[in-house]
Amino acid sequence: MALIDLFLSRFVKRGELTIVHADGTRRAFGAPDPDIRPVTVRFADKGAASFVARHPDLGAGEAFMDGRMVVEEGDILDLLTLIKENDRWEAGRVNLRPSLPRRALGAVTQRINRVNMAKRSRRNVAHHYDLSRRLYDLFLDADRQYSCAYFTDPAGSLEQAQADKKAHIAAKLALRPEHHVLDIGCGWGGMALYLNEKFGCRVTGITLSREQLALARERAEAAGVADKVKFELIDYRHMTGRFDRIVSVGMFEHVGPTHYPAFFAKCRELLTEHGVMLLHTIGRVGGPGVTDAWTAKYIFPGGYNPALSEIIRAYENKGLMIADIEVLRLHYAHTLKAWYDRTVAAKTEIVALYDERFFRMWTFYLAGALTAFSHGSLVNYQFQFTRDRHELPITRDYMLEGERMLRASE
């Protein structure tokens, strides 16, 4: 019996998985489950199956990208869902992991790669965010919110959920028109423009992506607010000035654990005496870990999703008081499903922009992320910090009231 067959016979209990080897041999695993679609996978060459079995952290993604592993019944999301349903975080076991020596080597390598000095940070950001504008047009909402949406209704549209995300975050900032806001990792400018539109405040957005910077500036000019909403190509470590509010959405994952204490110290330095900060980041529900090898190689070099304990240790003794923590458990799963569906629908255009291999890479990335949020160890955290305990109301009612008002104004 092939190594991968042996593994799957022990691992897959729920859902029907059929493997077709390169010589035509068929193996069936698992059992019918009404909640899991049947999947058939064909290995196109003799070495593909053993490659996947020997390198589970990298092999499946590369074999799928290269056409060595083909999903013939169902699609890559169905396959990864079936696998993850048999390895759910709530079950308290982790079956899909490389051998101990490979984990040790990977941990050392990633710790080195996560030392995101300024030059490496710019290169890592460009790897992902300086892709074609058209690619992001095809799967994001019109405002280009490339972070977890906020689904007040899981059946609602992506557009509504992203608008609700901005309202949810803005309400926690307790903004006033006279405030000056710093947006660290401003993306294509959607959050900065929203805060100016709703509150009339000044906003400075910073990014390391030249593509994002160019489009954000275009959007501010088009909206006639370039005098109040400015965007700069600068590393947060080099930022100067003082700000009444700081917001950072989906950027902390690129900081790297080595730099967490410096990040929070810098944010404290940039905040005014009565300043408030909202940090939105992907995080782990367990302890510290490492980024899987495939994602680190192909999608987010230098990226890392922190454990709650790592964040807490980093901001302690930095002069920031934690005012609120919220855990968004399933919102990113809903977001990623919308992105995945839009990507699949746009296959012809994405292949024309890049090629079939890129399309398979992108769908593997989105499908893998989706299952990590729906069945794995990933969630989103929102942290609210303040320098002055008296700056914010003593109950959370203001957040709910502010959010309702913002949503009603849409």
* 116-159 tens-digit pLDDT: 555 667 677 767 777 889 999 999 999 999 999 999 999 999 99
Residue 391's nearest CA partner among 311, 271, 265 is 271
Least confident residue range of 47-51, 115-119, 150-154, 404-408: 115-119
Are residue 91 and residue 135 in the same domain, yes or no?
no
Among candidate residues 202, 300, 304, 208, the one with its CA nearest the CA of residue 253? 304
**Secondary structure (DSSP) of 215-234:** HHHHHHHHTT-TTTEEEEE-
Residue 104 within any structural domain of the chain: no
What is the pLDDT at residue 372? 97
Query: What is the Cα Rg of the chain in Å?
Result: 22
% residues pLDDT > 90 (the chain)? 88
pLDDT of residue 218: 98
Say whether pLDDT at 107 is over 80. no
Helix H segments across 258-379? 260-270, 293-298, 308-315, 331-345, 347-353, 356-374
Claim to verify: residue 87 and residue 144 sit in the same structural domain: no
| Structure tokens, 75 | 């699609």
Amino acid sitting at position 277: M
Distance of CA 312 to the CA centre of its chain: 20
User: Does 39 fall in a domain?
Assistant: yes
Token reading at 308: 């709650």
Could you read off the pLDDT of 201-224 as tens digits, one per residue? 999 999 999 999 999 999 999 999
pLDDT at 111 over 90: no
From CA 10, how far away is CA 305, in angstroms rounded?
30
For residues 17-44, b (16+ Cβ closer than 10 Å) or e, as one string? Answer: bbbbbeeeeebebbeeeeebbbbbbbbb
Domain that holds residue 36: 3-97
In this prediction, residue 104 carries a pLDDT of 44
Does the predicted TM-score (pTM) go above 0.75?
Answer: yes
Of 97, 120, 145, the residue at which a domain comes to its end is 97
Phi, psi values for residue 17, rounded to 5°: -120, 125
Q: Pick from 68, 97, 126: which residue ends a domain?
A: 97
Residue 103 belongs to some domain of the structure? no
Domain count, the chain: 2
Beta bridge partners of 206: 184, 232
Q: Mean pLDDT over residues 182-207, rounded?
A: 98
Q: How many CB atoms lie within 10 A of CB 243?
A: 23
Is the per-residue pLDDT at 284 higher than 50? yes
**Residue 255's closest CA among 382, 147, 127, 121?**
121
- Considering the domain architecture, whether residues 232 and 377 belong to the same structural domain is answered as yes
> Could you report the per-residue pLDDT of 337-393, keeping only the tens digit for each?
999 999 999 999 999 999 999 999 999 999 999 999 999 999 999 999 999 999 999
Any residues with CB less than 8 A from the CB of 175 and at least 6 apart, and which?
181, 195, 198, 199, 201, 245
- Of the three residues 43, 64, 97, the one that is the final residue of a domain is 97
CATH of the domain at 376: 3.40.50.150
Coil, helix or strand for 239? coil
